[in-house]
Structure 1
Amino acid sequence: MKTVAVVLFPDLLLLDIAGPLEVFSIANRYLEPHNHYEILTIASESMSVRASNGIKLTADIHIDQAAGNYDVLIVPGGPGAYNQQYPALQCWLRKASSQVRLVASICTGAFILGKAGLLDGRRVTTHWNYTERLAEQFPQANVETDQIFVRDDNLLTSGGVTTGIDLALSIIAEDHCKAIALSVAKVLLVVMQRQGGQMQFSPLVADVAKDDSPIFRVRNYVLENVAEEFSVERMAGLAAMSARHFARTFTRELNMTPMEFVQSARIDSARRLLETSNLPLKTVAFRSGFGSARHMRHLFVEKLGLPPSQYRRQFS
């Protein structure tokens, strides 16, 4: 029998717990009793905590009683994970991480692992809206922005919320077989492997910003006139700068080249049209500055992992 332990703390996201735990619970239906997963909840503070949605949870044991030698140790996310400090939990996690077979964070639970010093030098991910914050707060971590979940040795980190289900299914498949994991996925009405990553859900560039610097004036102009043709030379002219100086300054301030920004702005424009209209793909491509539906399709598959037609089916 394998033990799946979950730590509880105030203001956690309930779905980060419920999703993966249901995967392990349903897997038990297909496993012999000696192969079952035993689920254990561990309190880091009070034995009773409230999740971010107001539901009260009561832990099985306190970390002072927790052995630490579990098969899977799960750290959920939520506002409490990135807004609060839990010194006792962080200390316990540092010790327990060397005893458990797998340490896993769901969504922003990666911030708690980071505060425990468990992300340094490791490939990790979190919810797309927090990847930049995670990278800034833990610069020694190698943060990947588009993965559903990432495994680095015995450390697993997952993206936003429901990706905890994907992570748990991968553990089932590894522990037993893909057929068992597939059976669980069918019960939950989810796919075993999603097409594309988190980038499908996140904007590639921010909205128009209130900043009157030359670089941001050009940035905002591109966002408001994305169907126009742009080159580095044209954008540099709009900023009244030389092309070379503009390209260097733009890349330094926005962390992408001018043409990468134009491409991302066009993809975001097309996504909005696909989500909110029934316009033909050719029209969407034209209005977003791609020139052709074929070119748009190529960039969607390259950047988002799926073609525009499938994006529309999933998000409109």
Structure 2
Amino acid sequence: MPSVAIAIFPGVQALDVAGPVDVFAEANGFIDTADHYQVMLVAADAGAMRASNGMSLNADATFDATQRGFDLALVAGGPALPERVPDERLLEWLRGVSERCGRFGSICTGAFALGHAGLLDERNVTTHWQHAAQLAAQFPRAHVDFDRIYLRDERLVTSAGVTAGIDLSLALVAEDHGPHVALAVAKRLVVFSQRQGGQSQFSPYLTAPADETSPVAKVQAHVMAHISGNFTVKQLADVAGMSARNFARVFVQETDVTPHEFIERARMDAARKLLESTRLALKTIAYDCGFGTADRMRIVFTKRIGATPKQYRERFQNVSG
């Protein structure tokens, strides 16, 4: 029977744990008894602990008592992981189990625990979109993909935020028992067996400038206030009160993107808001947001988030009535 260990800790994200556990439990209903997944929750200390939502989770065994190999070992995420070095007992267990397991990895921000354990160097990984840039900065030798729902790099597996642990677990079930079993489990859980698009469809492209009084912030506000217009670097430099060459250099320095990239991201966010909150025709949204045509907007959406504007609207529209 394949063994699965999921590392938990006080403040763990409950859904990071429950999602994968349910996938493996449901898979047992579609496979031979001899192939049933045996799932164990492990922690530094035995017994109950509080998840970040207040739910009580119970560890089946301690790290000290599980110094053996598993077919799969995962560390769940938690809201505090990006800001706090985990318990050294967890890091030591991860280092050891990574050498003894067929597959190992993380769910959501559990990637930070792998990073602190020194297991992300030169590896392709992903995590929650909200913390991907922080993971890349904190562990610069890791190759962080900001968009993937889950990612496999040889024996290392990582997932994006929270429910993406379900996607990862379904993919592992498909590896073990074929896509038909993964599909059956997905139907039981009423989720997609393979989600379309990446996690960028859930994340905003724009963040507030660090200094809202800077010339660059003034240009950003100008673009967003006139999003349907056409912009040149010279025009934006005039808004900033700079030469075109100096403006382009300063803009990249302060935002890490070119003016052109910022404009396209701003158009994307403006269009997404209208797709979510209105029933405006796609061609109207495309014009109002500066794409010009619905075809151009579709090309940009497909390139950036792996979904067309129509598909995005179907998933996220919140208009009632």
Bin of the TM-score, shorter chain as denominator length: over 0.9
Matches within 5 A, 1:46-61: 47-61=47-61
1:303 maps to 2:310: no
1:63 maps to 2:63: yes
Matches within 5 A, 1:83-94: 83-84=83-84, 85-94=86-95
| 1:209–1:220 contact (8 Å) kept in structure 2 | no
Partners of 1:62 and 1:81 in 2: how far apart?
A: 20
Q: CA deviation at 1:292?
A: 1.3
Match of 1:76 in 2: 76
Q: CA deviation at 1:88?
A: 1.2
Q: CA deviation at 1:286?
A: 1.5
Matches within 5 A, 1:4-153: 4-45=4-45, 47-84=47-84, 85-153=86-154
* Amino acid corresponding to residue 283 of structure 1 in structure 2: T
| 1:208–1:223 contact (8 Å) kept in structure 2 | no
Partners of 1:311 and 1:185 in 2: how far apart?
A: 21
CA deviation map 1:230-260 (0-9, x unaligned): 1111111111222222112211221111001
Q: CA deviation at 1:151?
A: 0.9
Q: Percent same amino acid at aligned positions?
A: 47
Q: CA deviation at 1:225?
A: 2.0
Partners of 2:83 and 2:46 in 1: how far apart?
A: 18
Partners of 2:68 and 2:201 in 1: how far apart?
A: 37
CA deviation map 1:161-213 (0-9, x unaligned): 11111100111111111111111111111122111100100011124765211
Match of 1:217 in 2: 218
Q: CA deviation at 1:80?
A: 3.8
Match of 1:199 in 2: 200
| 2:82–2:131 contact (8 Å) kept in structure 1 | no
Partners of 2:39 and 2:303 in 1: how far apart?
A: 40
Runs (5+) with no aligned partner, structure 2 = none
* Amino acid corresponding to residue 269 of structure 1 in structure 2: A
| 1:208–1:220 contact (8 Å) kept in structure 2 | no
Matches within 5 A, 1:229-248: 229-248=230-249
* Amino acid corresponding to residue 225 of structure 1 in structure 2: H
Partners of 2:62 and 2:209 in 1: how far apart?
A: 48
| 1:204–1:265 contact (8 Å) kept in structure 2 | yes
| 2:46–2:61 contact (8 Å) kept in structure 1 | no
| 1:4–1:39 contact (8 Å) kept in structure 2 | yes
Which secondary structure state, in structure 1, belongs to the residue aligned with residue 203 of structure 2?
Answer: coil
TM-score, normalisation: structure 2: 0.95
CA gap 1:222/1:68 in 2 versus in 1, 3 angstroms: farther
Which secondary structure state, in structure 2, belongs to the residue aligned with residue 217 of structure 1?
Answer: helix
Partners of 2:228 and 2:68 in 1: how far apart?
A: 57
Partners of 2:53 and 2:81 in 1: how far apart?
A: 14
Partners of 2:175 and 2:191 in 1: how far apart?
A: 18
* Amino acid corresponding to residue 50 of structure 1 in structure 2: R
Partners of 1:186 and 1:277 in 2: how far apart?
A: 31
| 2:46–2:60 contact (8 Å) kept in structure 1 | no
* Amino acid corresponding to residue 26 of structure 1 in structure 2: E
* Amino acid corresponding to residue 10 of structure 1 in structure 2: P
How many residues are aligned here?
A: 316
Which secondary structure state, in structure 1, belongs to the residue aligned with residue 66 of structure 2?
Answer: coil
Partners of 1:209 and 1:275 in 2: how far apart?
A: 27
CA deviation map 1:276-315 (0-9, x unaligned): 1111112111211111111111111111111111111110
TM-score, normalisation: structure 1: 0.97
Which secondary structure state, in structure 1, belongs to the residue aligned with residue 74 of structure 2?
Answer: strand
* Amino acid corresponding to residue 4 of structure 1 in structure 2: V
Match of 1:315 in 2: 316
Match of 1:176 in 2: 177
Partners of 2:54 and 2:204 in 1: how far apart?
A: 30
Partners of 1:80 and 1:60 in 2: how far apart?
A: 23
After the TM superposition, which of the residue ranges 236-245 and 107-116 deviates more from structure 2?
Answer: 236-245
* Amino acid corresponding to residue 29 of structure 1 in structure 2: G
| 2:150–2:158 contact (8 Å) kept in structure 1 | yes
Structural RMSD (CA): 1.3
* Amino acid corresponding to residue 240 of structure 2 in structure 1: A
